[in-house]
Amino acid sequence: MTAPAHPGRSRTPGPGESGRTAVPAAGTDRPREVRALAEARWPEAGDGAPPGVPGFVHSAFAPLVVAVADRCLRRRYGQGPAPVGTGTAIVLVSAAGDRPSADHVRATVAVGGRVGPLFFFQSVPNSVAGHVAARWGLDGPVVCLSPTGPAGEDGTVEAELLLYDGDADEVLLVAIEETPDGTPTGAVAALLGGGAGR
Interface residue list for another protein (CB under 8 A) = 25-28, 55, 89-90, 94-99, 102-103, 105-106, 108-109, 112, 114-117, 119-121, 123-131, 133-134, 136-148, 154, 157-158, 161-162, 164-167
| Helix or strand holding residue 41 (H, E) | strand 31-42
CB of residue 45 to another protein, shortest distance in Å = 30
CB atoms within 10 A of CB 100: 18
Question: Which amino acid is present at 55?
Answer: G
**Residue number, 2 or 28, with CB nearest to another protein:** 28
**Residue number, 97 or 186, with CB nearest to another protein:** 97
Peptide bond into 43 cis (omega under 30): yes
Q: What angle do CA 90, 153, 73 make, to 5 degrees?
A: 35
CB of residue 146 to another protein, shortest distance in Å = 4
Question: Which amino acid is present at 79?
Answer: Q
Residues 6 or more apart whose CB falls under 8 angstroms from that of 195 comprise 32, 34, 160, 162, 163, 164, 166
Q: How far is CA 166 from the centre of its chain?
A: 19
CB of residue 15 to another protein, shortest distance in Å = 27
CB of residue 190 to another protein, shortest distance in Å = 18
**Residue number, 4 or 166, with CB nearest to another protein:** 166
Give the Cα separation of 89 and 91 in Å (integer).
Answer: 7
CB 145 within 8 A of CB 92: yes
**Residue number, 49 or 107, with CB nearest to another protein:** 107
**Residue number, 41 or 99, with CB nearest to another protein:** 99
CB of residue 170 to another protein, shortest distance in Å = 12
